Amino acid sequence: MRFIKSLQFFSNKEKSSTIDDVKTVLLKSSKPSIFTNEFCPNCNFLDLKLSKGTKKLLQSENAGGSSIISEALSFEVLHRLFGCRLLATEMEIQYYFSHYPITDYAISVDGKALGVSVTRAMKWPIGSNYTHGDGVKLLTKKLSGVIKSTKNVLNPKFKKQILHVWAENEKTKDLLIDIWENNISDQLKSNTFVLITTAQKNCDYIFWSKSLKD
């Protein structure tokens, strides 16, 4: 089953890129980068055929909050795109110091370890307008946290992270790209690979579900 719309990524200023091209950027480039794709499941959440890594993330304890589904499906998307395997869950990653920002999970792509931090561009109540200020706040906070957690990680060690952002719609996706390009400093972007995945309207469980029973 394919629930990723196409095996191509798009940015608003670049032509479509093949998976191999994007994978090269992910693994070899030291520059910041941003790409987008779409999440298009053709069945309900409980009917999705998921990888072992995704199932482990769904069954594993995390640091709290209602993000289990979004983090698990983040891995499923990356697994189907890049063939990655799960190295460590959120609670399995070890750090030098506590009380620093942490990474949601760690993966291996062609033998290279990468951290993955997952976030959701959404606003309560459902249907509220996601604003420029919301996007600046989100990307500033998350990109700063990526830098801090990468410096602090002990095991598995990685020098680069993917910031995976779930967007509720195309408007939010376009807004985040514009903010990344025009309102975020190069220092804050660092070498982080940003992936914005736009979910279809029938994917509310990514953004609002607090448990697998919802």
**What digits encode the pLDDT tens for the residues 64-114?**
666 899 999 999 999 989 999 999 999 999 999 998 999 999 999 999 999
Would residue 83 count as lying in a domain? yes
Adjacent-strand bridge partners of 34: 194
Residue 16: the pLDDT is: 59
Domain of 196 in residue numbering reads as 8-207
Would residue 1 count as lying in a domain? no
Would residue 102 count as lying in a domain? yes
Strands 193-199 and 85-88: unpaired
Strands 112-121 and 161-167: parallel
Would residue 212 count as lying in a domain? no
Using alpha carbons only, what angle is made at residue 126 by residues 120 and 127, rounded to the nearest 5 degrees?
Answer: 100
Average pLDDT over residues 147-171: 96
Would residue 45 count as lying in a domain? yes
| pLDDT, greater one: 1 or 106 | 106
Taking each helix axis from N to C end, the angle separating 170-182 and 132-152, rounded to the nearest 10 degrees, works out to 60
Residue linked to tokens 């482990």: 56
Would residue 198 count as lying in a domain? yes
Is 15's pLDDT higher than 60? no
C-alpha torsion 198→201→207→210, nearest 10: -150
Q: What total of structural domains would you count in the chain? A: 1
**By C-alpha distance, which of 108, 63, 104 is closest to 85?**
108
Would residue 2 count as lying in a domain? no
Residue 65: the pLDDT is: 61
State both tokens at 18.
């093949």
Would residue 161 count as lying in a domain? yes
